[in-house]
């Protein structure tokens, strides 16, 4: 791929990923919703008030890698941690979880929104009150116990520039799981299942922090700073968004969609494979080509299994379900192979029509059309201002060049509009 084409493809991928973001309105509504839940749980006089309960986002919403659903009527999935700083001495996992559920059921609103109890979470369905089908979302609330001074530990961890694995572990929390043998028995949180969403978030931040957020300017300098830092994404965040979208498109409508690659595996392998590339095209291609190199094989109980270690808790295997459900492992490798195939097609596209067609197949029709439309509008502004130049290769560029472009053209062909 020649340099000018790679620059254009970089702009396309960055714009494409930006169009996958949830809207500012959705972001605001979601934040207001989980803050309201947290305030209700911690309200003076409530059965949880004395345990200093708080709610915080985790997962893709916290990592900045959340994307819109493929289908308009599908829910956004928001993961939350419900932290209790203490509990009654005789409370088991069951008691902690059930008391969070009891408090939610004391609200007329939340009682109506509660889904069936999950293995580890309570789920609130924000559907009936949605203004439109694009505003549908649900919140998975994970009850947990945290130690004394927990927020000081997390704050110190996030201010650090380098950390050892043992440092991450200080941010671990203990969660409830109704499939565990001690669910109704153990009153000691130290024996409960461990999770570390904020340690993971810090690890992910360290994998990407060496680079500034993606900034793309056009010749007329008409692009203003984004109003919310949430929208200033790093290359790694954008790569993860593109990977997740490609997966969602590939498995949309398939009978085995519930066995598609899970986001935590995609995010972890992408972050492991990312080597600080500042160019979106190079970063995406390198991640796609090398992410499977970070899948280990370990012999456990006489069996050789695939192992994707949680980077902040090496004892946890994110691929543990692959052994009991081989279809998930098969689907993961099928997806990676298609990623490589599709990226080669996109990179090798010779015309604008072929390029757009290949991107539609990989990432979806609506978001692709929106991406090309927005880029065309920006190119049009540059051309009107007389700032857009064209290399002698015939490829439009917002920098360099010697010939002023007079006709709208994208990706180097005047005949394929």
pLDDT at 190: 94
Whether residue 393 has pLDDT greater than 60: no
Lowest mean pLDDT among 57-66, 168-177, 207-216, 223-232: 223-232
With CA atoms as reference, report the closest residue to 61 among 75, 45, 47.
75
- What local confidence, expressed as pLDDT, does residue 226 receive? 28
- Rounded to a whole number of angstroms, the CA Rg of the chain reads 24
Residue found by looking up tokens 């015939």 in the block: 394
Domain ranges across the chain: 1-21+233-417, 22-231
**Res 387: pLDDT:** 60
The whole-angstrom separation of Cα 243 and Cα 58 is 19
Q: Are 352 and 413 in contact (CB under 8 A)?
A: yes
The CA angle 325-328-329, to the nearest 5 degrees, is 100
Share of the chain above pLDDT 90, in %: 69
Q: Mean pLDDT lowest for which of 9-13, 159-163, 361-365?
A: 159-163
Tokens of 66: 């959340």
Q: What is the pLDDT of residues 140-176, one digit of tens each?
A: 999 999 987 888 888 888 888 788 878 888 899 999 9
How would you class 290 by CB atoms within 10 Å of its CB: exposed for 0-12, middle for 13-18, buried for 19 or more? middle
Do 242 and 17 meet the contact criterion of CB atoms below 8 Å apart?
yes
Q: What is the pLDDT of residue 134?
A: 53
User: How is residue 157 written in tokens?
Assistant: 């961890």
Q: What is the pTM of this model?
A: 0.86
What per-residue confidence (pLDDT) applies to 131?
Answer: 56
Per-residue b/e over 25-62, b at no fewer than 16 CB within 10 Å? Answer: ebbebbeebbeebbebbbeeeeebeebebbbbbbbbbb
pLDDT for the residue 415? 35
Q: Within 13 Å and on the Cβ side, how many CA atoms surround 63?
A: 32
Tell which wins on pLDDT, 130 or 225.
130
pLDDT confidence of residue 284: 96
Confidence (pLDDT) at 396: 35
Q: Both ends of the chain: CA-CA distance in Å?
A: 21
Average pLDDT score, the chain: 85
Residue 192 reports pLDDT greater than 90:
yes
Give the pLDDT score at 240: 98
Least confident of 151-160, 198-207, 292-301, 322-331: 151-160
pLDDT band at 231, cuts 50/70/90? low
Looking at the predicted structure, is the pLDDT value of residue 322 above 60? yes
Contact 53, 96 (CB under 8 A): no
Give me the numbers of helices (H) and strands (E) for the chain, helices first please: 15, 13
Q: What is the Cα–Cα distance from 212 to 239, expressed in whole angstroms?
A: 15
- Provide mean pLDDT across the span 371-376: 92
The architecture (CATH level 2) of 22-231 comes to 2-Layer Sandwich (3.30)
Chain length of the chain? 417
Yes or no: say if 355 and 346 are a contact pair by the CB < 8 Å rule.
yes
- Report the relative pairing of strands 137-145 and 76-84 from DSSP bridges: parallel
DSSP H or E segment with residue 55: strand 54-58
* The two three-digit tokens of residue 378, written as one number: 């920006």
Beta pairing partners, 141: 80, 122
pLDDT digits (tens, 9 = 90+) for 240-299: 999 999 999 999 999 999 999 999 999 999 999 999 999 999 999 999 999 999 999 999
Least confident of 112-126, 176-190, 399-413: 399-413
């Amino acid at each position: 791929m020649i340099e000018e084409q790679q620059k254009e493809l970089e702009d396309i991928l960055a714009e494409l990923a930006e169009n996958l973001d949830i809207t500012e309105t959705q972001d605001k509504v979601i934040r207001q919703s989980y803050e309201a839940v947290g305030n209700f749980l911690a309200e003076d006089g409530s059965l949880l008030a004395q345990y200093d309960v708080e709610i915080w986002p985790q997962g893709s919403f916290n990592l900045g890698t959340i994307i819109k659903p493929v289908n308009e009527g599908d829910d956004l999935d928001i993961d939350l941690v419900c932290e209790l700083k203490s509990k009654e001495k005789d409370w088991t996992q069951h008691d902690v979880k059930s008391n969070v559920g009891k408090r939610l059921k004391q609200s007329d609103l939340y009682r109506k929104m509660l889904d069936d109890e999950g293995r580890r979470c309570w789920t609130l369905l924000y559907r009936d009150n949605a203004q439109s089908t694009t505003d549908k979302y649900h919140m998975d609330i994970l009850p947990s116990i945290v130690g004394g001074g927990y927020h000081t530990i997390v704050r110190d961890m996030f201010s650090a520039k380098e950390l050892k694995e043992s440092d991450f572990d200080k941010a671990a929390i203990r969660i409830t799981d109704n499939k565990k043998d001690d669910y109704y028995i153990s009153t000691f949180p130290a024996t409960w299942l461990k999770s570390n969403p904020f340690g993971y978030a810090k690890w992910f931040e360290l994998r990407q922090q060496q680079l500034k957020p993606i900034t793309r300017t056009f010749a007329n300098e008409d692009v203003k700073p984004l109003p919310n830092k949430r929208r200033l994404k790093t290359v790694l965040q954008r790569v993860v968004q593109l990977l997740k979208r490609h997966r969602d498109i590939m498995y949309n409508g398939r009978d085995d969609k519930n066995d598609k690659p899970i986001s935590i595996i995609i995010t972890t392998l992408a972050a492991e494979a990312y080597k600080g590339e500042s160019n979106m095209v190079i970063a995406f291609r390198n991640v796609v080509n090398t992410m499977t190199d970070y899948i280990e094989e370990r012999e456990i109980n006489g069996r050789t299994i695939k192992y994707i270690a949680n980077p902040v808790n090496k004892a946890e295997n994110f691929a543990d379900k692959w052994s009991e459900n081989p279809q998930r492992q098969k689907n993961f490798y099928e997806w990676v192979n298609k990623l490589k195939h599709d990226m080669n097609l996109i990179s090798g596209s010779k015309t604008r029509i072929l390029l757009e067609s290949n991107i539609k197949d990989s990432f979806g029709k609506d978001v692709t059309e929106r991406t090309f439309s927005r880029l065309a509008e920006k190119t049009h502004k540059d051309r009107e201002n007389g700032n857009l130049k064209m290399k002698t290769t015939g490829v439009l560029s917002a920098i360099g060049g010697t010939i002023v472009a007079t006709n709208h053209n994208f990706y180097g062909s005047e005949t394929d509009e």
